Chains A and B, each alone.
Chain A
Amino acid sequence: MKKIIAIILIYLAISAPVLAHKPSDSFISIESVGKSWQFRWNIGLRDLEFAIGLDRDQNGLLTRGEVTSQSNIISAYALSRIKINSTGEACQTPLDDFEIKKLEDGNYASLTFSAQCPNTENVELNYSLFFDFDPTHRGLISVRNNDQTFSYVVSDSSPVLALSRIDQSGLNTLSSFLREGIWHIWIGFDHVLFLLTLILPAVLFRRNHAWQSTDNIKIAMIETLKIVTVFTIAHSITLSLASLQILTFPSRFVESMIAFSVLVTAINNLRPFFRHSRWIVAFGFGLIHGFGFANVLLDLGLSGQQTALSLLGFNLGVEIGQLVIVIIFLPLIYLIRDSLFYRWGLLRVGSSVAAVIASIWLVERLFDYQLLTI
């Protein structure tokens, strides 16, 4: 008997171990979105095949059809092996989506779900996938929290990960909200359009019912920075009020008002009615835009004790983002202030285009109807 075993196992023993596959891992990426946690969980089909036996027709080939037709079984199996609790109470983990994803070492079932917890304190993840037959299996977890990513591993011997303990220092909060502020002014097309429309005539001044070009960029720059800062002060006020839930408006109203603000500013460039006081426009509409920013900030999630820092960081970020736009844009239009391209192409045609876009937005937002894809 011994001899037979030896011959069967010869190649097991003599050649040094060379294993082609990487070991069994599942990958979880977790993102904190507002008050809930969003999960994407990639689980190897190779592991699932061993655990549940997905190859129904036993032909040695696992097809897309076989996997998708068993997506319910797979999801139920997996979701019963991840428990998320907050202060000891179980959170609901409803499945949002089931996909098949190709990762570097093969195909994975990719589950998306969110954890809805009775409260947000002490959220814990308890992982037990495949440990019932493979103690070498690991869950590799990456947690994204306000622009930062942390990596963790859960194993048979340490299956629990505390999510709410992943906190950040004040400085991190400040800097990550600062970055978010900059980013959101840049990708917020309506805010950028408002800002550009507002500063478009900044290299001109009115005399005798006509635009005259200025010859002093310093004055033009200072005037514009004043306007932008007034805008920031105004939106900081309403942003804070709205984020702290002291004063809120329905988002459809706010969004419509933002579109209206672009429209008014654009028309003001064509047929000025706020003569010498663009800063009043800036302040008034700043109040409106602040409510718009608040929606973004609420989506990002404000953590309890660091609300003030988050608000400060976000407002500073928005201000910096705006200043960058002004500093790039103003010298450009200053250089071409006398050209026909500026006076016709930008000031008149540009403002008209802005007015048209704003009108479309206004209609869309007021009546909740999609006209444009932007």
Chain B
Amino acid sequence: MASSFARNEYTRTGDSFYSPRFWLPLSLIMFFIFLIWWWSDEQSILVTSIEDENDILLVLQTRSNAESSREKQLKTHTEDYPEDIDSVAELTQLYIERSRKESDPRYLGYAQHLLNPWWSNQKPPLVIQRLRAILLQSQHQFAPALADLNALLQSYPGDAQSLLTRATVHQVLGNYTSALKDCTNLLRYAPLPAIACVASIQSLTGQTTDARNLLAGIEPQLASQPVSTRQWIRTLQGEIAVRKNQPDQAEKYYQLALTEPLRSAYLLREYSQFLLDNNSNEKVLSLLEDETHDDSLLLHAAIAADKTQNKDKLRQYSDLIETRLRNAKLRGENNHYYLEARYALDLEKKSGKALLLAKSNWQKSKEPRDTELFVAAAVANDDQSSLHKISDWMLSQKAVLPSVMALLNTNGSGSQ
């Protein structure tokens, strides 16, 4: 039994103890055993990251002491007296402003909570109804927002805030004629916002030179305006220059807007789209590096990563987009059609899916980018009926969007 492995038995194939045929595989096996050993022990080998007490986890928007103590005071007061209209209105307005300043929709949620006692009232007090309309508009619920605004303006035709809000809703819905009417009515009550409002509509209806001149006229007053207003007007001037096909002018205005101490998502969205159109993709990537919390900006960053063949970034951004779409669907939100449609068109290259989504999106919202996306998806699918829909709408509202019309003309939608 002791000699069960007789020497002649294992030497008969000609192998030798000293031959590489023996030692090579054996050392390989030993190596793998070592690897497994190391792998199972890696947790103790890996250096654990050192976490510093002073790591900054969240940067809060700095506000003056007066502002934050007033907010706290109102918060406590409205908790005790949730139906005290004056305090509720003041705090709601503070929250809406914060949601804008910090680009954070959760303040709209806080505001909605404050309006809860009147949320489903047919006829709430004027000040409440006005705030409710702004809130609904901010949440993209344009139909109920319009219902509130129409009711309000019926009773108080000179309510400046409501005129302005309704003009905005009409503009987003692509009703330029109605929007212009509201802007013009506003001139009597609040000239500066009214001028910006009119210029904005003009820039969409082919009167870009008039729009530019109107804004040039209020130039002297800009210095005294709040940062956000000035930045918004600079951005609008940039957009007008784009529509006039003056890229140098556009760049100039966008740069002016960027010098303001505020990084608004609206500005970054318009400017990065401008850069994408001019193939400055690297610039987009560095501009939006830390701005991917916003859907549109994330999308622009992903498109720039795709164009520069930056595979790692593209993967990272696409994963983020997919997570966000999944969560939005789970939440039951339906205001992500734009993101989903453009992601499908430009990155997933699924033009059929993109067309369906772009069409749904366009039915809800007709900002220039919505129309641009719809026309691009329609062209990709050679969908003449969609192209006709777009040109019919453009004719009825006298809309002039060079980027859209170029595509319409080359793809034979006859009515242009």
Cβ of A62 and Cβ of B60 under 8 Å apart? yes
Q: Which of A62, A105, A374 contacts B56 (CB 8 A)?
A: A62
Cβ of B25 and Cβ of A16 under 8 Å apart? no
Cβ of A19 and Cβ of B55 under 8 Å apart? no
Q: Which of A134-157 contact B (CB under 8 A)?
A: 134-138, 140, 151-153
Binds A, one of B160-168, B243-251, B340-348: B160-168
**What's the Cα separation between A49 and B61 when bound, in Å?**
12
B277 within 8 A of A: no
User: Which A residue sits closest to B72, measured CB to CB?
Assistant: A53
Q: Distance (Å) between the CB of A337 and the closest chain B CB?
A: 10
Cβ of A45 and Cβ of B58 under 8 Å apart? yes
Given A65-B54, A339-B15, A12:B4 Cβ within 8 A: no
Q: Distance (Å) between the CB of A201 and the closest chain B CB?
A: 11
Cβ of B5 and Cβ of A348 under 8 Å apart? yes
Cβ of B200 and Cβ of A104 under 8 Å apart? no
Given A62-B58, A210-B6, A20:B104 Cβ within 8 A: yes
Q: Which of A2-18 contact B (CB under 8 A)?
A: 2-3, 5-18
Cβ of B53 and Cβ of A64 under 8 Å apart? yes
Cβ of A64 and Cβ of B22 under 8 Å apart? no
Cβ of B197 and Cβ of A106 under 8 Å apart? no
Report B301-337 CB contacts with A as 1/0, cut-off 8 Å.
0000000000000000000100110010011110000
Q: Which residues of A contact B57 (CB under 8 A)?
A: 45, 62-64, 67, 100, 106-107
Q: Which residues of A contact B12 (CB under 8 A)?
A: 338
**What's the Cα separation between A38 and B12 when bound, in Å?**
61
Cβ of A19 and Cβ of B232 under 8 Å apart? no
Q: Which residues of B contact A350 (CB under 8 A)?
A: 29
**What's the Cα separation between A160 and B55 when bound, in Å?**
37
B367 within 8 A of A: yes
Binds B, one of A22-30, A173-181, A244-252, A303-311: A22-30
Q: Which residues of B contact A133 (CB under 8 A)?
A: 109-110, 113
Considering residues A63, A68, A132, which has the most beta carbons from chain B within 10 angstroms of its beta carbon?
A63
Q: Which residues of B contact A24 (CB under 8 A)?
A: 105-106, 109
User: Which A residue sits closest to B44, measured CB to CB?
Assistant: A373
Q: Which residues of A contact B266 (CB under 8 A)?
A: 15-16, 18
Cβ of B56 and Cβ of A61 under 8 Å apart? yes
Q: Which residues of A contact B11 (CB under 8 A)?
A: 340
Tally of A interface residues using CB under 8 Å: 71
**What's the Cα separation between A345 and B138 when bound, in Å?**
73
**What's the Cα separation between A135 and B33 when bound, in Å?**
57
User: Which B residue sits closest to A347, measured CB to CB?
Assistant: B5
**What's the Cα separation between A6 and B197 when bound, in Å?**
12
Report B43-57 CB contacts with A as 1/0, cut-off 8 Å.
000000001111111
**What's the Cα separation between A50 and B103 when bound, in Å?**
15
Q: Which residues of A contact B3 (CB under 8 A)?
A: 209-210
Q: Which residues of B contact A45 (CB under 8 A)?
A: 57-58
User: Which B residue sits closest to A156, measured CB to CB?
Assistant: B113
What bracket does the count of chain B residues touching chain A fall in? 35 or more
Binds A, one of B291-299, B352-360, B402-410: B291-299
Q: Which residues of A contact B134 (CB under 8 A)?
A: 9, 12-13
Cβ of B10 and Cβ of A344 under 8 Å apart? yes
**What's the Cα separation between A349 and B23 when bound, in Å?**
12
Cβ of A47 and Cβ of B164 under 8 Å apart? no
Cβ of B15 and Cβ of A11 under 8 Å apart? no
Q: Which of B105, B109, B138, B193 contacts A7 (CB 8 A)?
A: B193
Q: Which residues of A contact B61 (CB under 8 A)?
A: 60
B264 within 8 A of A: yes
Q: Distance (Å) between the CB of A327 and the closest chain B CB?
A: 21
Given A3-B190, A61-B56, A106-B58, A14:B164 Cβ within 8 A: yes
B381 within 8 A of A: no
Report A149-189 CB contacts with B as 1/0, cut-off 8 Å.
00111000000000000000000000000000000000000
Q: Distance (Å) between the CB of A158 and the closest chain B CB?
A: 10
Q: Distance (Å) between the CB of A234 and the closest chain B CB?
A: 28
Q: Which of B1-38 contact A (CB under 8 A)?
A: 1, 3-6, 9-13, 15-17, 19, 21-22, 25-26, 29, 33, 36-37
Q: Distance (Å) between the CB of A203 and the closest chain B CB?
A: 14
User: Which B residue sits closest to A134, measured CB to CB?
Assistant: B109
Q: Which of B1, B100, B269 contacts A209 (CB 8 A)?
A: B1
Given A211-B4, A345-B26, A14:B196 Cβ within 8 A: yes
Cβ of A18 and Cβ of B9 under 8 Å apart? no
Q: State the majority secondary structure of interface residues on A.
A: mixed
Given A60-B60, A64-B53, A340:B100 Cβ within 8 A: no
B41 within 8 A of A: yes
Cβ of A135 and Cβ of B189 under 8 Å apart? no
**What's the Cα separation between A11 and B29 when bound, in Å?**
70
Considering residues A136, A209, A373, which has the most beta carbons from chain B within 10 angstroms of its beta carbon?
A136
A35 within 8 A of B: no
Cβ of B110 and Cβ of A6 under 8 Å apart? no
Cβ of A104 and Cβ of B110 under 8 Å apart? no
Q: Which of B37, B139, B265 contacts A20 (CB 8 A)?
A: B265
Cβ of A60 and Cβ of B62 under 8 Å apart? yes
**What's the Cα separation between A153 and B326 when bound, in Å?**
12
Q: Which residues of A contact B165 (CB under 8 A)?
A: 13
**What's the Cα separation between A353 and B54 when bound, in Å?**
50
Cβ of A14 and Cβ of B200 under 8 Å apart? yes
Q: Which of A46, A135, A343, A349 contacts B112 (CB 8 A)?
A: A135
Q: Distance (Å) between the CB of B5 and the closest chain A CB?
A: 7
Q: Distance (Å) between the CB of A325 and the closest chain B CB?
A: 16
Q: Which residues of A contact B200 (CB under 8 A)?
A: 14
Q: Distance (Å) between the CB of B297 and the closest chain A CB?
A: 8
Cβ of B99 and Cβ of A64 under 8 Å apart? no
**What's the Cα separation between A24 and B113 when bound, in Å?**
14
B211 within 8 A of A: no
Chain B residues engaging chain A, CB cutoff 8 angstroms = 1, 3-6, 9-13, 15-17, 19, 21-22, 25-26, 29, 33, 36-37, 40-41, 51-62, 93, 96-97, 99-100, 102-106, 108-110, 112-113, 116, 134, 137-140, 158-161, 164-165, 167-168, 171-172, 189-190, 192-193, 196-197, 200, 226, 228-229, 232, 264-266, 269, 291-297, 320, 323-324, 327, 330-333, 367
> Can you list 26 A-B contacts (CB < 8 A)?
A6-B160, A6-B190, A11-B229, A16-B171, A21-B104, A22-B324, A24-B109, A60-B59, A60-B61, A62-B57, A62-B59, A65-B54, A107-B58, A134-B109, A135-B112, A136-B112, A151-B330, A153-B330, A210-B6, A339-B15, A339-B21, A340-B19, A341-B21, A344-B17, A345-B26, A374-B36
Top 8 closest A-B pairs, CB basis? A340-B15, A20-B103, A136-B109, A65-B53, A134-B109, A6-B160, A62-B58, A20-B294
